[in-house]
Amino acid sequence: MLNLPAKAESTTSPHLWPKQAIRIIVTFTPGGAPDILARVLAQSWQQQLGVPVLVENRPGYGGNIGADLVAKSDPDGYTLLIGTVGIHAINGALYDKLSYDPIKDFTPISFLASTPNVLIVNKTLGVNNLRELIELAKAKPNQLTFGSSGTGTSLHMSGELLKEMANIEIRHIPYKGRAQSLPDLVSGRISMLFDNLSSSLPLIRSGDVYALGVTTLKRSLAAPEIPTLAEQGLRGFEATSWFSLMAPAGLPGSIQKRLNALTRQTLNTPKVRNKLIAGGLEPAPGSPEDLSNLMQIEAVKWGGLIVQSGAKLEP
């Protein structure tokens, strides 16, 4: 009887993970909240795991380019995604056809953090609060524009919710990311912009733009001086940008558990947590089950708004 050598064990075997570089895909340009979170995780994990952890920015098409890349990757723990409310709760209703399933094609790992969206305006627009903006929009229907970091993002949906609740007509201008939208707001090419508070705080505090309100029901701990849109007359107005860590569907449970533990450890570190909160992000890592439930609830909420508002992808 021949004594055959044992079959070499794959480096993707769960108990050997990780043995090579890990990629974290961000579906927006550098500098925004999802990019910040990815780099926080990458820096921590690289020290703990002893392998390179690379952040790759794949912006465009409402997050669908990066999401599709991850959905079609091997479920081996080496390609991960910073998930967003847009990818996992909005795009499924907004786009007629997607090359991936926002729920079934991913393994949830952990909620990461949330941040209020904030409505900021060009200083020359001549409005100081939400009431004045609504009055101006009604006096100039379809003449004012609002920018966002892409169709289908929670920033886009914040604008659609504003249109619906305030009964105004303003035109949506989608961008690939804040790196393109903020200069256009400052220069006056667009009238207003919905952005993540964490990304806009430096420009707000420098006086380059003016903040009219945040989109959460409560004021942000990072900027309590900025009122909510809800308290200015749009009762119940709520739109939060949240971010998660996702892997392709079929990820082994042992790797899912390890990634969840790594994520919780990193985001619960006092130094990391305090830094994120000061920047407008509220970290809240949790279980994969909690994340899965959140995605289902948010998909129902935003899907209903999309149907009600008639929001469509711009050609």
Domain ranges of the chain: 18-115+240-309, 116-232
Convert the pLDDT of each residue in 46-92 to its tens digit: 999 999 999 999 988 888 999 999 999 999 999 999 999 999 999 98
Residues linked to residue 26 through DSSP beta bridges, in sequence order: 57
Q: For residues 156 and 164, give the distance between their C-alpha atoms in angstroms, rounded to a whole number.
A: 13
pLDDT of residue 312: 55
Neighbours of 181 (CB within 10 A): 26
Q: For residues 187 and 71, give the distance between their C-alpha atoms in angstroms, rounded to a whole number.
A: 38
Q: For residues 125 and 16, give the distance between their C-alpha atoms in angstroms, rounded to a whole number.
A: 58
Residues 6+ apart with CB under 8 A from 294: 111, 242
Helix, strand, coil shares of the chain, percent, nearest 5, are 45, 20, 35
Residues 6+ apart with CB under 8 A from 307: 93
| CA angle (21 as vertex; 16, 23 as ends), nearest 5 | 115
Q: Which CATH class is domain 116-232?
A: alpha beta
pLDDT of residue 253: 97
| Whether residue 309 has pLDDT greater than 80 | no
| Whether residue 11 has pLDDT greater than 80 | no
Convert the pLDDT of each residue in 101-144 to its tens digit: 999 999 999 999 998 999 999 989 999 999 999 999 999 999 99
- Which band of pLDDT confidence, cut at 50, 70 and 90, is reported for residue 178? confident
pLDDT of residue 5: 43
- Which band of pLDDT confidence, cut at 50, 70 and 90, is reported for residue 14? low
Q: Do domains 18-115+240-309 and 116-232 have the same CATH topology?
A: yes
Average pLDDT of span 171-199: 89
- Which band of pLDDT confidence, cut at 50, 70 and 90, is reported for residue 304? confident
pLDDT of residue 15: 64
Q: Which CATH class is domain 18-115+240-309?
A: alpha beta
Average pLDDT of span 246-259: 98
pLDDT of residue 259: 98
Q: For residues 223 and 132, give the distance between their C-alpha atoms in angstroms, rounded to a whole number.
A: 22
Task: Please say whether the beta carbons of 191 and 199 come within 8 A.
Answer: no
Q: Which helix (H) or strand (E) holds 245?
A: strand 240-248
Three-state DSSP class for residue 195 = strand
Q: Which helix (H) or strand (E) holds 40?
A: helix 33-49
Residues 6+ apart with CB under 8 A from 22: 45, 49, 51, 52, 53, 54, 77, 78, 79, 80
| Whether residue 22 has pLDDT greater than 50 | yes
Three-state DSSP class for residue 252 = coil
